Amino acid sequence: MIAMRHWSLRQQVTLLVGVLCLALVCILAAGAAYIAQSRVRQIVMENETQDAVLTASLLDRGMFERFREARNLAAMPPLKDIWAGDPAVIRQVLEQLRTSYPDYAWIGYATPDGTVRAATKGMLEGQSVRERPWFQDGLKGPAVGDVHEAKLLATLLGPAPNNEPFRFVDVAAPVRDETGRVIGVVGAHLSWTWAEERRRAVLGSQSLSGGKSLWILSGDGTMLLGPDIGSKPFPEERVRAMRQATAGAFEDPSGTEPMLTGFAVAGGYRDYPGLNWIVIARQPDSVAFAATKGIVWTIMGLGLVIALIGLICARFIARGVARPLQTIIEAADKIGRDPTISQVPRVSGSAEIVRLSAALRSLLRRAGAAEQQVIEASSQHEKDKMALRQLAETDPLSGLLNRRGFALLADEAFGLHRRHGHSLAVLLLDIDFFKAVNDTYGHAAGDVVIQAIGTALNGTLRATDKIARFGGEEFIVLIHEVDETGIITVAQNLRRAVEALAIAYQDRTLSVTVSVGGALAGPDDRDIQDVIERADDALYKAKAAGRNRVTIDGLQIQLASAVA
C-alpha cells in the first residue's frame, strides 16, 4: 500500500479493479458452491423424508387392510355357522380370501385348544399352534405380529422365489359365537415379499441410477428389509431419536461416504395400532452434490472472463477519469493560497466529473438540508411500517388480532415454552347459535355481537394474554404462565363475561353465550398447531355437551353455567 501511493490513478484503478475482480470471482464461486450445496442438501433430505413417509404410509395402509380383513372375516355374520361345521367349507372360504390377495402365504382357523381345523391348501391342519404368539394374542382380540420366520410353514410352502428364508407378518382375530364366547381364532401369515414390492414401487429406477436405497427397520432398529438383515445399522440413540421425531432427515457419516438420510415411523393407521417400523431412505452425498460441482466450475469460468474484460475496460476508464480530476486537484490546491480562486472550476468530461465539481461547490450549503431530509424520511418510513403492520395483523371488525397476528405471537410463545418450560395454554371460544342471530336480525346485528364480545373478552384478560378473532364467530386466546386450575378459571371468567352481556341493537337487547374448549401445551405437542387442535377437539365436546360450557382437554371436566 505504501508503494501504491506513488502510482498514478490510472495504475491504481487498473490494479485494484484486477484484484477486486479476482476476489469477486473467488467469493462468487465459494458462495455459489455453498448455496448450491446447502439447497441441494435441503431438497434431497426433503425428498428422502417424503419417500420414507410415503413408504411408511403404504405399509401402514396395507397392514390396516389385512388387519381389517382378518377382523371382518372372524366377525362376519353370514360365516357364524360355518366355523363349527365342515372343515372343507371353512377351507373353501379361506381359499377365496387368499385368492383375492395372493400375498397371504397361509390362512387358517384354529379351535380354542390351538388345533388347526382348516387352512389354505390343508397346510398345518390337525397340528397344534397353541404356543404360537399369533394364536395366543388372537384369543384376546384382533392382533398383529412383527416380522418373523416360520420354518415349518416355509417347508410346506417350498423354496422362496429369491431363495431367501420365508418371513411373515401375522394377523389374527378371535371368532365368537352368538353369546360372545371365543370358539376359535382366524390367523393369517402375510408374506414379507409384500413389503419388498412396496419398496420397489417407491424406489423405481432410482436405486440403480442414483444410488438410492430404502430400508425397513423394526422398532428396535433391527434390519427387516435391506442389506445385512438382522443387523442394527444405527446406534440406539439414533433409533430412539427417530422414534420420537416420527419423521425427519439427517446426514449419516458412519459409512464409507456420508449419506443423506430421511426416515419415517410407521405408527399405524386408523384402528390398526402399527408395529413402529422405521422406514429409511438414503442417498450418497457424492450423487446428490455431483451437479453442484459443474455449476461452480461454470461460474468460475464465466467470472474469470468477466474479470479480464473488466480489467481492460478499467484501464481506459481510468485514463479518461484522471485528466479532469487533475484539473480539479490543481484548482483545489490553490484555494486558500491564491485569493483569486475561491472554488473549483467547472470541468468537462464524464457526467460524474462534472457533477463532482458542482457538488464540491454546494456541499456545505446542502449538507444541513440533506441531513434534515434524511431524518424526516427515516421517521416517516418507520411510521408507514408500523401502520402497514397494524393493518396486516388486525381484524377490522373486532379490532382484535387476526389469524396472522395471532400466529406470530403463538409461534414465539411456543418456542419459549419449548426452550424454557414456560407454561402455555390455548382457549377456543365459539358463539353459540350465532347463525340464528344472523338469520333473525341480519348480519349487521351479527357484527355488533362480534364487536361486543371481542370488547368483553379483551377486557376480561390479563395484559400478558392475547386474544384474536380466529374467523367467523370463533375467537382464540393465548394464555401465559397458567396451570390446570388457572385455565379453568380464565375460561369460566370469559364464558361468564359473554353470558352477562346485554347487547343493544336498534330497539332490542340481544343475549348470547359461548362454548369454550381449551388445552395446555404439553411435551408431546410438536408445535402450537397441535395445542390448537386439542383445544378445538375440546370445543367440539363442549358444543356436543349442550353449549355454554367449558371443556379442557385431558382434565375430563365440563362446566356449564349451572355449576360454574
Banded model confidence at residue 103, pLDDT cuts 50, 70, 90: confident
In angstroms, the CA 175 to CA 109 distance is 9
| Mean pLDDT, residues 245-254 | 89
Residue 336 lies in a domain: no
Regarding whether 96 and 239 lie in a shared domain, the answer is yes
In angstroms, the CA 280 to CA 451 distance is 52
Query: Is the pLDDT score of 358 beyond 90?
Result: no
Query: Is the pLDDT score of 484 beyond 50?
Result: yes
End-to-end, the C-alpha distance of the chain in Å comes to 82
Banded model confidence at residue 427, pLDDT cuts 50, 70, 90: very high
Residue 333 lies in a domain: no
Nearest to 172 by CA among 150, 149, 190: 190
Q: Which residues contact 267 (CB under 8 A, 6 or more apart)?
A: 56, 60, 246, 274, 276
pLDDT attached to residue 6: 61
pLDDT attached to residue 498: 96
Q: Which of 244, 267, 289 is the last residue of a domain?
A: 289
pLDDT attached to residue 30: 74
Query: Is the pLDDT score of 410 beyond 70?
Result: yes
Query: Is the pLDDT score of 487 beyond 90?
Result: yes
| Mean pLDDT, residues 255-261 | 85
Q: What is the CATH number of the domain that holds 149?
A: 3.30.450.20
Q: Which residues contact 99 (CB under 8 A, 6 or more apart)?
A: none
Regarding whether 223 and 81 lie in a shared domain, the answer is yes
Query: Is the pLDDT score of 372 beyond 90?
Result: no
Regarding whether 222 and 75 lie in a shared domain, the answer is yes
Q: In this predicted model, what pLDDT tens digit does every residue of 434-477 receive, in sequence order?
A: 999 999 999 999 999 999 999 999 999 998 999 999 888 999 99
In angstroms, the CA 155 to CA 433 distance is 67
pLDDT attached to residue 563: 40
pLDDT attached to residue 371: 42
Which residues constitute the domain of residue 61? 43-289
In angstroms, the CA 390 to CA 396 distance is 10
Regarding whether 270 and 407 lie in a shared domain, the answer is no
Residue pair 351/357 in contact (Cβ under 8 Å)? The answer is no
By CB neighbour count within 10 A (0-12 exposed, 13-18 middle, 19+ buried), where does 539 fall?
Answer: buried
pLDDT attached to residue 202: 82
Residue 91 lies in a domain: yes
Number of domains observed in the structure of the chain: 2
pLDDT attached to residue 4: 57
Residue pair 111/139 in contact (Cβ under 8 Å)? The answer is no
Average of per-residue pLDDT values in the chain:
82
Residue 62 lies in a domain: yes
| Mean pLDDT, residues 218-237 | 89
Q: Which of 289, 324, 340 is the last residue of a domain?
A: 289
pLDDT attached to residue 310: 72
pLDDT attached to residue 561: 46
Q: In this predicted model, what pLDDT tens digit does every residue of 197-210 receive, in sequence order?
A: 888 888 776 654 56
Query: Is the pLDDT score of 162 beyond 70?
Result: no
Residue 540 lies in a domain: yes
**Is the whole model's pTM more than 0.85, yes or no?**
no
In angstroms, the CA 380 to CA 396 distance is 24
In angstroms, the CA 441 to CA 516 distance is 24
Active site residues: 473
Query: Can you say whether the dihedral through the CA atoms of 96, 101, 106, 111 is positive or negative?
Result: negative
Count of CA atoms in the C-beta half-sphere (13 A) of 294: 5
pLDDT attached to residue 381: 62
| Mean pLDDT, residues 163-179 | 84
Residue pair 495/513 in contact (Cβ under 8 Å)? The answer is yes
Residue 3 lies in a domain: no
Q: Which of 289, 324, 344 is the last residue of a domain?
A: 289
Report the range of poorest mean pLDDT among 151-155, 158-162, 305-309, 343-347. 158-162
Residue 396 lies in a domain: no
Q: What is the CATH number of the domain that holds 470?
A: 3.30.70.270
Q: Which residues contact 241 (CB under 8 A, 6 or more apart)?
A: none
Query: Is the pLDDT score of 243 beyond 60?
Result: yes
pLDDT attached to residue 459: 92
pLDDT attached to residue 213: 86
pLDDT attached to residue 346: 73
| Mean pLDDT, residues 314-326 | 69
In angstroms, the CA 498 to CA 514 distance is 7
Residue 327 lies in a domain: no
Residue pair 52/60 in contact (Cβ under 8 Å)? The answer is no
pLDDT attached to residue 8: 67
**DSSP secondary structure string, 321-358?**
HHHHHHHHHHHHHHTTT-TT--SPPP--SSHHHHHHHH
Query: Is the pLDDT score of 143 beyond 60?
Result: yes
pLDDT attached to residue 267: 86
| Mean pLDDT, residues 486-512 | 93
